Structure 1
Amino acid sequence: MWWILAAVAAVTLCYWLLKRPHKYWIEKGVKQGSPKFIFGDGYEQMMQRQSFPELVEMVYNMCPNTRYSGIYQLFRPTLILKDPDLIKQITVKDFDHFVDHLRFVSEDSDPLWSNNLFALSGKRWREIRATLSPAFTSSKMKFIFSLISESGEQFVNYFLGKSEDVITVEMKDIFTRFANDVIANTAFGVQCDSLIDRENEFFLMGKDATDFRSFWKNIKFFVYFIAPKLSELFQVRFFSKEVSDFFTSLVKTNIQSREKHGIVRPDMIHLLLEARKKGLKHDESLSIQDTGFATVEEHDFTKNAKKIEREITDQDIASQALVFFFAGFDTVSSLMSLMSYELAVNPDVQEKLVKEVDDTFDSCSGKITYESLLGMKYMDMVVSESLRKWPNTAAVDRICTKPYTIEAKYPDEKPLHLEKDIRVLIPIFAIHRDPKYYPEPERFDPERFNDENKANIKPYTYLPFGSGPRNCIGSRFALLETKILFFYILSHFRIVPVEKTPIPLVLCKKQFNLNAKDGYWLGLKRRSRI
């Protein structure tokens, strides 16, 4: 009989030990939802019954009228920041307490990933960011504008060569191929035409690096975030060895060829090599137009930070180039896909944008310039609203790097003491869809970003590229690339719904990244210019 009592006691103790971590926020006086046993708040997403953006929206709304609330990723407590002023306080004013992202892959298991700007932490991140940020200013974007424009012309000429009046395409596929060619050209010095050479090695490696469609890849990605120590213990790689070897070899061979033959071309490899040789400076001029409303500014924290003390190695350059590729390959093509979808189902918006495209086309005799593209106000409004409704980064995290206290602001609050290594999450997707900040959030309305209305947008409620010194370094590039391509497309085509177009759009629940369940099937309808 004693063994039965012992077994019951053991089971009870195990249950209590597994249940207790989900009391963490309650014990700190923070409101939380109803986390599932063991799985916490991410169970539905882990089981592929909920997309990640839907999860973000759910946890944002589960404790209304609070500045923050608690969730659990398995047993890991995470604080959801919901108040714009609090987001500013943590990501900007007190940034030195929240410098890092969650580090989930060890340097030993995957040095190519661990040395990129997103994954670096502490002093190393500050040095690399300060060294690289001058390569992403608007003046440098003007420097590589011609290469992106060439890829845009190549893209549209492919479809102009088709005989159909309406060409049915899956937009994510063709935009991913365009993004691949742009990044190959601007970041790696490799020229591709992935619409014609559909199985080129560069594109296939990019697909391998960014594919999260399989169940097990999603599980691995999920474990990275909820159990980083476990992934480090088992030396789990972020990129496959084949992908890492391919891109490392590509960059190193490219650098050797340039240095041997004195090759100079207007691309990111050149800018990174210049940063290695003599450093780059923030040389912004008031005469250089910026890329749009969504552009994030480089903060003084990194502008004035000390540049890297040791030499930038070929491995460092390969790491930055690969993460640049990783981000651009998927997130930019998702932005383009969702923007094209919204233009197709909102023909009044598209007609207004086509009118601006035609006026710009005529004013520059069909040869778009950097200045004329960025002078297109309605284009910027459409892109800004696309990023408002469909931010490609549903949420961004910060790790508390030294103890911090969120002081009480309202009578029902008390000071909240955050220990080192506690994770906080900024729910961008949900904030962008909060009717308190954006009335009728499901409606696609570029007028939210006209000159009058955008001045009334509450600070830190529009965060498509993150917030604070650790924002996305490539925002200018992403905006420029998107605007160039849509200028070329709408100069010759209208984007229209077809029989396979899913209306309304349903998000895919089987991928961690933002995607449509049934794809982005639309038509390119040839238009005649008078």
Structure 2
Amino acid sequence: MAILYLAGAVLCVVLYFAFLKRFTYWESRGVLQYGYLVNLRELLLGLISYRGITEIIQTIYDAFPESRFCGVYQFSRPTLVIRDPELIKKVTVEDFEYFTDHINIALAQDSEPIWQKNLIALKGEKWKDMRATLTPSFTSSKMKTMFDLISNYAKAFVGYFEEHPDEVHSMQMKDVFGRFTNDIIATCAFGINCDSMRNPQNEFYLMGKDITSFTGFWANLRKVFTLLFPRLAKRLQITFFSKRATHFFATLIRENIASREQNGIIRPDMIHLLLEARKGKAREDSRFTVTEGVADRQEEKRKKEQLTDLDITAQALIFFLAGFDTVSSLMCFMAHELAVNADIQERLQLEVDDIMRQCEGNITYEALSKMEYMDMVVSETMRKWPSPVFSNRACTKSYTIEPEKEGEKAVKLNVNDPILIPIFAIHRDENNYENPTRFDPERFNRENKASVLPYQFIPFGVGPRSCIGNRFALMETKLAFFYLLSKFNLVVTEKTDVPLQLGKHAFHLNAKNGFWLGLKARTP
């Protein structure tokens, strides 16, 4: 009997060290941590869509109001959540060399090469080279070259509603704006002309919806399974992204590249830039600069491997993945806020009408850039409803967070330790914004804008790894609303949720019951 007790005791010790001890990782380092069992419960509730990812991160953030950071566990993986804006600046900008990469998405080797070669997933020197290659596509000068193209699409988009007045009384705006962003990306990144309002079943739009679907229990379960068990997922041929949609886009781009090279077609879009980079013609000089806040980072031009068709496909596809849902969601939230805040909508329309008169109906890039109230409304939408709920980094060199507050200890981070930046929670923190749930564009007027600290407002991420397409997203959004508000008022309908309830079936911000709004033609 004594032997059995001894064996049981030994087994308990073994289990403790083999399993439970890993969940004292942060506690043993003097970091306040979210209780593991509570942490696991939240993750499981999120998996079955009982909790939304936004709600889970907000709960963790609120649990440590006086701390600059706290520890959590992504199942068994320790993750440091950074709450303090100054520490965010230090980690993502000032000490960027220690946190150059995003957290690795553990897909099995070669199982989804299109994902593994895109800008977001690339690491170290490969990321720097690709970022330098793509950066010229998103400068102000390049935005100007695409301005008329996007403006014409926005005009045609609004023109559809003028042609079909019977359809605008109550619309699911997620579908409406999704079609618009689909067409913009199709032409600017893929060189394809689409009209998804007039041709709603076009293949490009349907495949785009397929590959960007991050909602629903089974879709989430499939994605989580590929992340937790990448090798098994590869054997079972379970992929993170839809095989059918991935094959469609890969074939589309491969044929597009072949056609351009065979026929000498030149079109000012992303594929053209990448083809020029493959020929060694993309860089205008030997250095590039990434600027964010107080940090300027210059990287020497390095000898690089030649871009393959797969590299080009990966970048075009990530542009679609990053821009399709995030930008359409931004437009949906902005439309909702304008519909329920009629005074704000009216003031914005006054600015739209004024610019329309000045430009005699043909807005220019410069005129759009000078629309102050438009910028205030868009900025406040991104504050209250940031499309990326969080951002992340992986520690790439051993790093120590030095103590600054009473009771803190030095925290050493090892290579591959993950860091999570809770963007939504930071934007909703009363210490950062007064009455944060209220929609108030005046937070971003000339006088108040200076009081918003840079690292309290991070809708596009932060540091050199922030969103490369932020100018594109803003221009696309502003043009859509410029033309829409010049012709229509956004109004609530019987299906409109007021207040808006967030959905729990996605990895990103979404409305539980959809974004139902109506359009009412403005009287001349």
Could you tell me how far apart the structure 1 residues matched to 2:275 and 2:385 are? 35
Report Cα offsets for 1:79-109 as digits up to 9, x if no partner.
Answer: 0111111111110111111111122224400
Could you tell me how far apart the structure 2 residues matched to 1:235 and 1:89 are? 41
Q: 1:219: Cα distance to partner? A: 2.4
2:242 match:
240
1:394 match:
389
Question: Aligned partner of 1:94: which letter?
Answer: D
Q: 1:496 and 1:132, CA in 2 relative to 1: closer, same or farther beyond 3 A?
A: same
1:25 aligns with 2:26: yes
* Higher deviation after alignment, 230-239 or 317-326: 230-239
2:84 match:
83
1:371 aligns with 2:371: no
Could you tell me how far apart the structure 2 residues matched to 1:275 and 1:163 are? 46
1:280 aligns with 2:280: no
* Higher deviation after alignment, 40-49 or 360-369: 40-49
1:199 aligns with 2:198: no
1:296 and 1:465 in contact (8 A); partners too: no
Alignment of structure 1 residues 418-433 onto 2, 5 Å: 418-433=413-428
SS at match of 1:250: helix
2:47 and 2:217 in contact (8 A); partners too: no
Structure 1 runs not aligned, ≥5 long:
284-294
Could you tell me how far apart the structure 2 residues matched to 1:225 and 1:106 are? 9
Question: Aligned partner of 1:263: which letter?
Answer: I
Could you tell me how far apart the structure 1 residues matched to 2:256 and 2:179 are? 22
1:125 aligns with 2:120: no
2:320 match:
325
Identity %: 50
Q: 1:319: Cα distance to partner? A: 0.4
1:108 aligns with 2:110: yes
1:393 and 1:428 in contact (8 A); partners too: yes
* Higher deviation after alignment, 222-231 or 28-37: 222-231
Question: Aligned partner of 1:466: which letter?
Answer: G
Q: 1:120 and 1:232, CA in 2 relative to 1: closer, same or farther beyond 3 A?
A: farther
1:130 and 1:305 in contact (8 A); partners too: no
SS at match of 1:496: strand
Q: 1:313: Cα distance to partner? A: 1.7
Q: 1:459: Cα distance to partner? A: 2.6
2:402 and 2:410 in contact (8 A); partners too: yes
Equivalent position to 2:459, from 451, 459, 464: 464
Q: 1:430 and 1:391, CA in 2 relative to 1: closer, same or farther beyond 3 A?
A: same
1:289 match:
none
Could you tell me how far apart the structure 1 residues matched to 2:215 and 2:312 are? 28
1:479 aligns with 2:481: no
Q: 1:163: Cα distance to partner? A: 3.1
2:187 and 2:194 in contact (8 A); partners too: yes
What is the TM-score with the length of structure 1 in the denominator?
Answer: 0.92
Alignment of structure 1 residues 336-347 onto 2, 5 Å: 336-347=331-342
Could you tell me how far apart the structure 1 residues matched to 2:90 and 2:437 are? 29
Report Cα offsets for 1:311-359 as digits up to 9, x if no partner.
Answer: 1222111100000001111110000000000101111110000110111
What is the TM-score with the length of structure 2 in the denominator?
Answer: 0.93
2:161 and 2:168 in contact (8 A); partners too: no
1:395 and 1:427 in contact (8 A); partners too: yes
Question: Aligned partner of 1:445: which letter?
Answer: D
Give 4+ residue runs of structure 1 displaced > 4 Å after superposition: 1-13, 223-236, 295-299
Equivalent position to 1:350, from 305, 328, 345: 345
Question: Aligned partner of 2:417: which letter?
Answer: I
* Higher deviation after alignment, 215-224 or 139-148: 215-224
Question: Aligned partner of 1:76: which letter?
Answer: R
Report Cα offsets for 1:28-78 as digits up to 9, x if no partner.
Answer: 000012221782652332231111111221111111211111011111110
1:291 match:
none
2:39 and 2:73 in contact (8 A); partners too: no
Question: Aligned partner of 2:408: which letter?
Answer: E
Q: CA RMSD in A?
A: 2.4
Could you tell me how far apart the structure 1 residues matched to 2:13 and 2:505 are? 35
1:102 and 1:225 in contact (8 A); partners too: no
Q: 1:136: Cα distance to partner? A: 1.0
2:60 match:
59
Question: Aligned partner of 2:199: which letter?
Answer: D
Could you tell me how far apart the structure 2 residues matched to 1:227 and 1:300 are? 39
Equivalent position to 2:506, from 502, 511, 528: 511
Report Cα offsets for 1:355-396 as digits up to 9, x if no partner.
Answer: 101111111111121111111110000000000001000111
2:438 match:
443
Question: Aligned partner of 1:36: which letter?
Answer: L
Q: 1:260 and 1:140, CA in 2 relative to 1: closer, same or farther beyond 3 A?
A: same
Q: 1:344 and 1:58, CA in 2 relative to 1: closer, same or farther beyond 3 A?
A: same
Structure 2 runs not aligned, ≥5 long:
none
